[in-house]
Amino acid sequence: MPTALVTGGAGFLGSHLCDRLVERGDDVICVDNFYTGSKRNIRHLIGNDRFEVVRHDIVHPLFLEADVVYNMACPASPEAYQANPIKTIKTSTVGMVNVLGLAKRCGARLLHTSTSEVYGDPEVHPQTEDYWGHVNPIGPRSCYDEGKRVAESLCVNYARQHGMPVRMVRIFNTYGPRMDPNDGRVVSNFICQALKGEPLTIYGDGSQTRSFCYVSDLIEGILRLTDYDPSAEELKEDGAAPGPVNCGNPGEFTMIELAEAVLKLIGGNSELKHLPLPTDDPKKRRPDISKAKRLLDWEPQVSLEEGLKPTIEFYRERLGL
Ligand code: NAD
Ligand code: UDP
Ligand code: UDP
């Protein structure tokens, strides 16, 4: 069976990916520096013959053998990536170079997790892969957004210059069990606040939109994209084919609507409390997933309501309620 290296494998998405890979019989090496990840996310895999963990920071070179590399290492919540912005940039640049160098040496296929944040505060709606984005290069989100843009540039240039098989998924807001309850993302905040009977914190007037994808749908998209093989003609045209692919749920909600959906499922009498809108907070975001449908026959199966239920159960247990 192939050996899969998952950087950031102890994080929210990485741990779900490790689960799916181990289940299908891959040998999995999880590499993580535990900056935002947690041993708790992978505890159930410890002791499995197909799974091992290496504590390592990808900003430093790493020498391991793998057939497929999934690069998921990078803090994803605004609070976490802004807590140490220089580290965030280094992870997406120096770290990305190291991961590419490793994949090149091993002759491994590389799946890189990019983000809808490469579109910034978008002026094109919904966002298609050929939109170049609208990013403030010096704002508080730039450590993440610009880092991820450099990472994409590194990926396509390694693919073109060295003929490496590289895949890039642009992930739109994804949620589900194992999302860190304290990382400040909106889904975890609203659910934990509602469960504790606290006010739900709406930043700004709550009219900004996001499109929320359930974790199982996203992981399925990642696996299909990793396996996708562009034709010889496509590769002749662009050595980095198929290029970045959006994965997300096109269902678009305002933050007020999300708060209402959470309160409908949890009940209680939490109020909505308005707080200032963070600088450069994107006003709207929705993926155009035509490319994923066409290439991967992929589209999300889980509605927001269906996905919120197991997520709420996860936090209920985590908070000991
Ligand atoms: P997460 O913070 O839960 O996971 C990131 C993992 O990477 C953590 O385990 C962390 O400890 C590890 N990590 C961070 N820096 C590292 C480094 N320098 N070396 C080794 N390990 C490091 O976040 P997530 O939501 O699971 O995101 C995973 C990937 O998906 C990230 O690359 C993120 O940018 C991308 N992404 C996620 C979303 C989302 O909505 N969840 C959206 C867009 C993109
Ligand atoms: N690298 C790594 N692990 C490997 C191979 C390379 O961490 O298995 C790092 C190495 O430190 C190098 C970087 O990846 O600086 C880029 O590798 P590449 O082969 O592209 O560049 P070069 O070694 O020629 O600088
Ligand atoms: N948000 C909010 N209340 C919170 C946390 C976030 O209203 O307690 C808003 C935030 O301003 C943004 C949206 O929810 O408009 C999504 O925020 P998140 O941090 O989850 O993701 P991102 O901004 O990276 O899409």
Q: Give per-residue pLDDT as tens, 272-318.
A: 999 999 999 999 999 999 999 999 999 999 999 999 999 999 999 99
- Cα of 275 to ligand 2 centre, how many Å? 45
Q: What is the pLDDT of residue 15?
A: 98
Q: What is the pLDDT of residue 56?
A: 98
- How many CB atoms lie under 10 A from the CB of residue 136? 14
Q: Give per-residue pLDDT as tens, 180-226.
A: 999 999 999 999 999 999 999 999 999 999 999 999 999 999 999 99
Q: Which of 79, 186, 213, 304 has the most ligand 3 atoms within 8 A of CB, as the residue to mutate?
A: 186
Closest CA to 141 of 97, 92, 188, 94: 92
What gap in Å lies between CA 265 and CA 252, rounded to an integer? Answer: 18
Is the separation of the CB atoms in 97 and 162 below 8 Å? Answer: no
Asked if residue 300 has a cis previous peptide bond (ω within 30° of 0), the answer is: no
Is the separation of the CB atoms in 62 and 31 below 8 Å? Answer: yes
**177, burial (CB in 10 Å: exposed 0-12, middle 13-18, buried 19+):** buried
In sequence order, what E strands does the chain have? Answer: 3-7, 27-32, 51-55, 68-71, 109-115, 166-171, 174-175, 200-203, 209-211, 213-214, 244-247, 252-254, 272-275
What gap in Å lies between CA 265 and CA 170, rounded to an integer? Answer: 29
| 3-class secondary structure, 269 | coil
- Cα of 259 to ligand 3 centre, how many Å? 11
Ligand having the closest approach to the CA of 62: 2
Protein residue with least CA distance to atom 21, ligand 3: 185
Protein residue with least CA distance to atom 19, ligand 3: 185
Q: Give per-residue pLDDT as tens, 108-152.
A: 999 999 999 999 999 999 999 999 999 999 999 999 999 999 999
Q: What is the pLDDT of residue 287?
A: 98
What gap in Å lies between CA 275 and CA 272, rounded to an integer? Answer: 10
- How many CB atoms lie under 10 A from the CB of residue 309? 11
- State the maximum Cα–Cα separation within the chain, in Å, rounded to a whole number: 59
According to DSSP, the residues that pair with 3 across neighbouring strands are 27
User: What number does the ligand 3 atom closest to the CA of 79 have?
Assistant: 19
Is the separation of the CB atoms in 41 and 10 below 8 Å? Answer: yes
pTM of the model: 0.98
Asked if residue 126 has a cis previous peptide bond (ω within 30° of 0), the answer is: yes
Query: Which residues lie below 8 Å from residue 85, measured CB to CB, with a gap of 6+?
Result: 140, 143
Element (H, E) at 23: helix 12-23
Q: What is the mean pLDDT of residues 35-64?
A: 98
Q: What is the pLDDT of residue 200?
A: 98
Q: What is the pLDDT of residue 88?
A: 98
Q: What is the pLDDT of residue 207?
A: 98
**114, burial (CB in 10 Å: exposed 0-12, middle 13-18, buried 19+):** buried
Is the separation of the CB atoms in 50 and 22 below 8 Å? Answer: yes
Mean pLDDT of the chain: 98
- Cα of 74 to ligand 3 centre, how many Å? 18
Q: What is the pLDDT of residue 268?
A: 86
Q: What is the mean pLDDT of residues 81-85?
A: 97
pLDDT at 42 > cutoff 90: yes
Closest CA to 216 of 250, 188, 178: 178
Q: What is the mean pLDDT of residues 168-183?
A: 97
What gap in Å lies between CA 163 and CA 140, rounded to an integer? Answer: 35
Per-residue pLDDT band for 34 (boundaries 50, 70, 90) equals very high
Q: What is the pLDDT of residue 114?
A: 99
Q: What is the pLDDT of residue 225?
A: 98
